[in-house]
Amino acid sequence: MKEYELTVLIHPDLEADIDTALTKVRDLITSTGGSITREDVWGKKKLAYKINNQDFAVYTYMDLSLPAEAPLRISNVLNITDEVLRYLLVKVDEKGRAALAEAQKRASDDQTDEK
């Protein structure tokens, strides 16, 4: 299983009942054999440009573990899901993630040394 990041923009009218839309996405991931390792709802934000005549969307971010065939199946379903305005599913770059963690560690070490 490989690690992926999924960011989903959900229709703003569903903000009050976001759990229904997120349950659809969660069920899709688990039905393809994947698992969600982390989920973060960023809330309603203004879009840089209109998508389907909408100025806002509810942003949701997820870290996933997926088998090889799952990303294509997830993409195919999210493309035709009415609740989803846009999505981005990308494979995690482990080297980049390790470099970012190291840079954050150095920054926190530098802050403690200055005190």
Domain parsing of the chain, residue ranges: 2-114
CB atoms within 10 A of CB 28: 16
- Tell me 93's DSSP state: -
Q: What share of the chain in percent tops pLDDT 90?
A: 66
Asked if pLDDT for residue 37 goes beyond 90, the answer is: yes
Per-residue pLDDT, 39: 94
**5 beta partners:** 63, 90
Give the CATH superfamily of 2-114: Ribosomal protein S6/Translation elongation factor EF1B (3.30.70.60)
pLDDT tens digits, one per residue of 16-36: 888 888 999 999 999 999 999
pTM of the model: 0.80
Q: How many residues does the chain have?
A: 115
